[in-house]
Structure 1
C-alpha cells in the first residue's frame, strides 16, 4: 500500500468515526437510546422521519381514519390479514405478550395496529372479531385495495395482492413492523422476527422521546 493510499484510508476511517459518533450523539440526545442496542433489538430508525400520505382507511368500528393523523401516541403497524395461516396470528400473539412485558407508562404511549392486506375478506366486522381474540385495544384498518397498496408502498412494506378468484387464497406480505411517532411521521421499522425480550428493553426509552 502506498503512502497516498494509507493517507486516504486513514482519512476515510476518521470521517467514518466522526460520523458514527455524531449519529450516536444525535440519537442519544433525542432520547432514542443506544443505536447499537436498538439495532440489536431489530429497531431500525430512519435517518430522517418520513411523512405519511393523505389517505383515509376504515377501522374495526367502521370509523374513518386518516393515516397521516395517527398522532399523539407511538404506533406499531403490522401489515397482515385475518385469514393468514401462520405469520399474522403468531405476530399478533407476540405483540399481545409484548404489551404485558412493557411498563404501564410505555403501554399507554403505544398503539398497536393491524393494517389489512386482504380488503376483500377483511371487513371492519371481521377485523373486530379477529382482533378480539388477541387484545381489545388493538386497532384494525382496512380499505380499498388501491389505497392500502399506496399506504404500504409509502412506508416501504409492499405486498403482493392475491388472486381473489381462488378459494382459500393467501397474501404474500412482510413480517416487519412500521414505527410511527407521536407527530404522525414514520420513524423506522422493527425487523422480523420479533424479539420480545429485547424490544421490551428498548421500547420504553424510544417512546419516552418525542
Structure 2
C-alpha cells in the first residue's frame, strides 16, 4: 500500500468514525438507540432540529398562540379540518388511543395538537366542539390561509387550500404527524397511517422526561 493509499484509507476511516459518533449522538439525544425500530414504527427523525417561524394563531378558546412557543413538552401535530370525511376523524381517534397506550410519564410529557387548515368553516368554537368528541385536552389552533401555509411549509406538511365557493368542499392535506421537541423545534414526523402498537413501544423512549 502506497503512502497516498494509506493516507486515503486513514481519512476514510476517520470520516466513518465521525459519522458514526454523530449518528450515535443524535440517537442518544432523542432517547432511542435503534433507528431501525424507530423507522419501523413510522418515526422519522431529522438529522438536525428545525426552528419554527414566529407565527401567531388562534386556539380553540379564542386565545392567541405562537407556534414557536410550544415548549416544555413534546408535541405531536396533525393538520386537518373538522369537516373532513375520513382521514381526520380516523387520525384523531388513533391519537386518542395512542395517548391512552403510553405510560403515564410519557403521556404527561406529550401535547397533542390539531391544526385546522379550513379557517373558513373552523371557528374556535367549532374546533373546540370537534375535539371534545375525541379528547378535550387536545389543543386546536388555526389562522388565516397564508399563515397556515407558512406553518405547513416550515414543517414540510403541505396542504392545498380549498375553493371555498364550492358547496361541501374538501381540503387536500397530509396524514403525517409533526414531532416537536420540548425546545419548540421540529425533530421529525410520524408517517401515516399510524401504527399504534409499534408507536407505543418506541415513543416512550423518545418523549419521556430525561433524568
Whether these two folds match at TM > 0.5 is yes
Q: How does 1:127-142 map to 2 (within 5 A)?
A: 127-142=127-142
Gaps of 5+ in 2: 1-8
Contact in 2 for aligned 1:24/1:35 (Cα 8 Å): no
Aligned length: 202
By how many angstroms is 1:24 displaced? 4.2
Root-mean-square deviation over aligned CA pairs = 2.0
Separation in 2, partners of 1:144, 1:24 = 39
Separation in 1, partners of 2:209, 2:37 = 16
By how many angstroms is 1:30 displaced? 1.5
**2:177 match:** 177
Q: Residue by residue, what CA displacement relative to the aligned partner does 1:11-59 show, whole Å, maximum 9, x if unpaired?
A: 9x97896566334421343252111111111000001000000100000
1:114 aligns with 2:98: no
1:162 aligns with 2:132: no
1:31/1:163 Cα in 2 relative to 1: closer, same or farther (>3 Å)? closer
Separation in 2, partners of 1:187, 1:209 = 16
SS at match of 2:157: coil
By how many angstroms is 1:187 displaced? 0.4
Runs of 4+ in 1 over 2 A off after TM superposition: 13-24
SS at match of 1:46: strand
Q: How does 1:1-210 map to 2 (within 5 A)?
A: 18=17, 21-33=20-32, 34-208=34-208
SS at match of 1:82: coil
Contact in 2 for aligned 1:81/1:115 (Cα 8 Å): yes
Separation in 1, partners of 2:163, 2:23 = 45
- Comparing 16-25 with 194-203, greater Cα deviation is found at 16-25
Q: Residue by residue, what CA displacement relative to the aligned partner does 1:135-156 show, whole Å, maximum 9, x if unpaired?
A: 0110000111111111001111
Separation in 1, partners of 2:85, 2:16 = 46
Separation in 2, partners of 1:114, 1:125 = 14
Contact in 2 for aligned 1:31/1:208 (Cα 8 Å): no
Separation in 2, partners of 1:28, 1:44 = 12
SS at match of 2:88: helix
Gaps of 5+ in 1: 1-9
Separation in 1, partners of 2:21, 2:43 = 19
1:101/1:161 Cα in 2 relative to 1: closer, same or farther (>3 Å)? same
- Comparing 164-173 with 19-28, greater Cα deviation is found at 19-28
